[in-house]
Amino acid sequence: MRHLIVFVKAPAPGRVKTRLQRRYAPEQVAAIYRAFVADVLAHGAGVACERRTVCYAPAEAEAEVRALAGPEWDVHPQTEGDLGDRMAGAFAWGFAQGATRAVLIGSDSPSLPPGLMAEAFERLRTRELVIGPSVDGGYYLIGMSRPLPEVFRGVAWSSARVLEETLDRAEGAGVRPSLLQPWYDVDTPEELNFLLAHVRGEGMSGGAADAPETVKAMEKIMKRRSGETEKG
């Protein structure tokens, strides 16, 4: 069974994508993040797999996350601990549910093409570990054909060494990962600007990347800002 897992936080103002608050108000950031989630889940819904689950935090946000996820997705709370503990817990749960290939992504890459998720599942036919490197030194996707909790241990999360240290852990476990093409996360206003320019360019050239809900949310925010400037 192919199982796609997406990590999501409840989109509460001041609790998500806080680095975007350098430019946008907490309520605006929450709206942007909600659009991120909508785009990621829409892309994930287009990937051929037998099960799709939104793993969410905090645990008390189930009702809100169910409303975000819609009927195509199951929901399940993340475990406690740091990011590595929570990812290891999600994979352990997924395999206990009958998965034979599990792929986990975050909600920070709203333009991620479904084809990269599908490619990860395909590679897991013959490989134990697949990783999608992120240009910031982390990774946007990790997939496994069996539980490998050791690849999450002792990693300096939220650093530029996440991918390097994960590869070291895999090597120490005797596992050779298959690497997908690099992609990018969106954490800062500058990265959000890049996303919007990239999506626009992809649309003009017939490329595969898009993020329609994110673009719509940003257009709404910019229109409101423009109106406030004119009033001022």
For 18-39, write each residue's pLDDT tens digit: 999 999 999 999 999 999 999 9
**pLDDT, tens digit (0-9, with 9 covering 90-100), for 34-80:** 999 999 999 999 999 999 999 999 999 999 999 999 999 999 999 99
Strand 2-9 relative to strand 101-105: parallel, antiparallel, unpaired? parallel
Q: Residue 206: its pLDDT value, please? A: 87
Q: Residue 226: its pLDDT value, please? A: 62
Q: Which residues contact 17 (CB under 8 A, 6 or more apart)?
A: 29, 32, 33, 36, 186, 187
Cα separation values, 23 from 4, 11, 193, 211, 228, Å: 33, 17, 11, 20, 15
Q: Which domain holds residue 120?
A: 2-231
Average pLDDT, integer, range 85-99: 98
Q: pTM of the entire structure?
A: 0.95
Q: Residue 208: its pLDDT value, please? A: 81
Number of domains composing the chain? 1
**pLDDT, tens digit (0-9, with 9 covering 90-100), for 127-179:** 999 999 999 999 999 999 999 999 999 999 989 999 999 999 999 999 999 99
For residues 8 and 53, give the distance between their C-alpha atoms in angstroms, rounded to a whole number. 10
CATH code, domain with 171: 3.90.550.10
| CA dihedral angle for residue 169, residue 172, residue 178, residue 183, rounded to 10 degrees | 20
Q: Which residues contact 182 (CB under 8 A, 6 or more apart)?
A: 132, 133, 134, 135
Q: Residue 227: its pLDDT value, please? A: 59
Q: Residue 231: its pLDDT value, please? A: 53
3-state secondary structure (DSSP) of residue 51: strand
**pLDDT, tens digit (0-9, with 9 covering 90-100), for 179-221:** 999 999 999 999 999 999 999 999 899 888 899 999 999 999 9
**pLDDT, tens digit (0-9, with 9 covering 90-100), for 93-127:** 999 999 999 999 999 999 999 999 999 999 999 99
